[in-house]
Amino acid sequence: MAAAAAAVRCAEQLVEREMSGRDASHDAAHALRVRDLALSLAAEQGVSSPDRLLIVELAALLHDIGDYKYTKDNVEDMSIVKRFLEEVGLEEGQREEIVAIITGMGFKNEVSNKLNAEPTLEFAIVQDADRLDAIGAIGVARCFTYGGSKNSALHDPNVLPRDNLSKEKYMSKEEKQTSINHFHEKLFKLKDMMKTEAGKKRAEKRHKFMENFVAEFYEEWSGRA
């Protein structure tokens, strides 16, 4: 237990160090919120084993360290995470499970609603936690924060949301998109992509908030409100 607690503390420090300086959509506070959400979902799903909870907590904390959106070459970089997991003394099986969760949980891997394999409960919990933080009031704030960091327009009626996105198109930094389109391309889809019962329940309220927000946004944009 002491070793697990020490590993978590070191992970928190790594998150603060590696994610400092990012815009607030994917900063250390995001990682900490996802960790708290993941542990809460795990409790609701009946996960109580310390070993299983350590997998959930570390995967949630570390999931955005190598995020492709913040790497020079637009590719996911797991080198820091892999090195960290070795340094804190996790067993090979634990390291592999955490890396598998992180590399497989992104929306880019499920953009066409296809899964390569049935996810483990730990995978589902961490993914649902990350997706919950992408919707609702915080999701709205994060969406416009990230768009602002990329100088994206709030809305342009001439730029329509993209349908049937491929992984490559979703990840592309070349295509100019608007912040409001992100709701249609990703955020409105997340409710129905939740995998745990706990995640599905929480997503309902957050999804409804976003629907109301976007409806009001269009009303105000058009001058009708």
Decide: residue 117, CB within 10 A, 0-12 exposed, 13-18 middle, 19+ buried: exposed
Domain that holds residue 9: 2-222
Task: Give Cβ neighbours of residue 182 (< 8 Å, ≥ 6 apart).
Answer: 143, 147
- How many domains would you assign to the chain? 1
Q: Are 62 and 84 in contact (CB under 8 A)?
A: yes
| Residue 141 belongs to domain with CATH number | 1.10.3210.50
Give CA–CA dist 101/116, Å, rounded. Answer: 13
Please state the pTM of the whole predicted model.
0.93
Q: What is the DSSP code string of 163-211?
A: SS--HHHHH-SSS---HHHHHHHTGGGGGGG--SHHHHHHHHHHHHHHH
DSSP 102: H
Tokens of 175: 């295509």
Task: Give Cβ neighbours of residue 217 (< 8 Å, ≥ 6 apart).
Answer: 155, 180
pLDDT in tens, the chain (225 residues): 778 999 999 999 999 999 999 999 999 999 999 999 999 999 999 999 999 999 999 999 999 998 988 887 777 889 999 999 999 999 999 999 999 999 999 987 877 555 556 899 999 999 999 999 999 999 999 999 999 999 999 999 999 998 887 777 776 667 778 999 999 999 999 999 999 999 999 999 999 999 999 999 999 999 988
* C-alpha dihedral sign at 24, 79, 13, 45: positive
Q: Are 77 and 66 in contact (CB under 8 A)?
A: yes
Q: Are 36 and 75 in contact (CB under 8 A)?
A: no
